[in-house]
Amino acid sequence: MFLKNVWQVAAFSAEIVDRPLARKLLGEDVVLYRTSTGEPAALLDECPHRLAPLSLGKVVDGVLQCGYHGMRFNGDGVCVHAPGQERVPVNAKARSFPVIERHALVWIWMGDPAKADETLAPDVFWMTHPDWAISQGYHHVAANYQLLNDNLLDLSHETFVHSHTIGNAAVADSPLAVSQDGENVIRAHRDMLNCEPPPFYVKAAGFTGRIDRWHTTIFTPPACNIIENGSMPAGSNKEEARRKGLTRERRVINLITPETETSSHYFWAIARCYALEDAELTEYIRAEVSRTFDEDKLILEAQQVRVRGAHFDTFPVTLRADAGAVQARRLVGRLLAEQERRDTPLQVVAQREPV
């Protein structure tokens, strides 16, 4: 059900402070905390003594102290203190997971620790790059992660679900072009030419006249969806418009980590490369996108109820606009089937395109 030999987001960096953070990831109860050096650590949220959740304890001198009988565990899950005795039992070890902190996110590797290779983490450099301003948020969605992938790879739904913010008729009316880059990257692109700017584009990008608009969802398994989107005055030459500063371009960073088979953690951020100092705009984008994703959550959770089992891979009807989602599901399905016999971890390719 879950691809495990891959880095997935466990938390925003800012969420892991001086207290343990409990989070279910890929069906496992995990506790996250910071060690004495400030590094994030992730353990199974289960004390090996009497199975109390370690997240009910506290961080003491950079190690995690169980809230029941006070055993202490370091970031590797090794017990470093057992109250009332000099020596700790040899089997006193909590399961630990590899974690790395990068671009203001904490990433966890839930699969074979021996395969955890830091170079395979998605490169979401926009999150911390000085040329980009970030509006970010989190949604808990009671739906399987592949339903969220479907949603992000078929943005025709913007027309019908998000008419108050980013949707207009041009989205669903414009054809989708889908391509695959290498083994693990699927791109779903749509140009929407000479259209009225949707409400969000008027307020967040300052367009009043007709625009040319485009978006490309770049999917890497299991659920990393980076959307490149942009707009410019209708009829412009893109390169020339870029040179003149007439384009408005954003990256929508959608990082989804399965919680269970029927629920997901949805970490998102909007990166923009214009009006970087405009704090009011940063907040406006955050609030509007949060409202927009509330609309997705409503549909996805209702859809999950109908889907019932998480293994509903083949839907009765397919439209042209489904092409990206269908390819992504095929890819995830193949990787899931291969997971047990792969020798090398899944390679997730970073997307770095100049703007």
Contact residues: ligand FES, CB under 6 A: 47, 49-50, 52, 66, 68-71
User: Which residues 6+ apart lie within 8 Å of 90 measured at CB?
Assistant: none
User: Which residues 6+ apart lie within 8 Å of 16 measured at CB?
Assistant: 32, 33, 34, 40, 106
Burial (CB count <10 Å: 0-12, 13-18, 19+), residue 61: exposed
Of the candidate residues 296, 307, 310, 351, the single one contacting Fe ion (CB under 5 A)? 296
Q: Which is nearer to Fe ion, 296 or 322 (CB)?
A: 296
Angstrom distance (rounded) from CA 123 to CA 352: 8
Residue 44 forms beta bridges with which residues? 30
| 3-class state of residue 33 by DSSP | strand
Which range touches Fe ion (CB under 5 A), out of 44-52, 113-121, 294-302, 307-315?
294-302
Q: Which is nearer to Fe ion, 45 or 296 (CB)?
A: 296
Closest to 314 measured CA to CA, from 325, 305, 298: 325
Residue 50 interacting entry, from ligand FES, Fe ion, none, C-beta within 5 to 8 Å by type: ligand FES
Angstrom distance (rounded) from CA 97 to CA 75: 9
Q: Which is nearer to Fe ion, 249 or 296 (CB)?
A: 296
Q: Which is nearer to ligand FES, 6 or 92 (CB)?
A: 92
| 8 Å CB contact between 190 and 171 | yes
Residue 288 interacting entry, from Fe ion, ligand FES, none, C-beta within 5 to 8 Å by type: none
Shortest separation between residue 71's beta carbon and ligand FES, angstroms: 4
Q: Which is nearer to Fe ion, 16 or 148 (CB)?
A: 148
Shortest separation between residue 11's beta carbon and ligand FES, angstroms: 23
Shortest separation between residue 295's beta carbon and Fe ion, angstroms: 7
Residue 271 interacting entry, from Fe ion, ligand FES, none, C-beta within 5 to 8 Å by type: none
Is 28 a residue that touches Fe ion (CB under 5 A)? no
Shortest separation between residue 82's beta carbon and ligand FES, angstroms: 8
Q: Which is nearer to ligand FES, 69 or 203 (CB)?
A: 69
Which range touches Fe ion (CB under 5 A), out of 29-37, 66-74, 77-85, 291-299?
291-299
Place of tokens 């692109």: 189
- Sign, CA dihedral 239-244-248-249, equals positive
Closest to 3 measured CA to CA, from 264, 341, 332, 348: 332
Residue 334 interacting entry, from ligand FES, Fe ion, none, C-beta within 5 to 8 Å by type: none
Helices 323-339/145-153 angle, 10° precision: 150
Residue 296 interacting entry, from Fe ion, ligand FES, none, C-beta within 5 to 8 Å by type: Fe ion
Closest to 354 measured CA to CA, from 255, 277, 217, 239: 239
Q: Which is nearer to Fe ion, 5 or 292 (CB)?
A: 292
Shortest separation between residue 22's beta carbon and Fe ion, angstroms: 29
Residues that bind Fe ion (CB under 5 A): 296
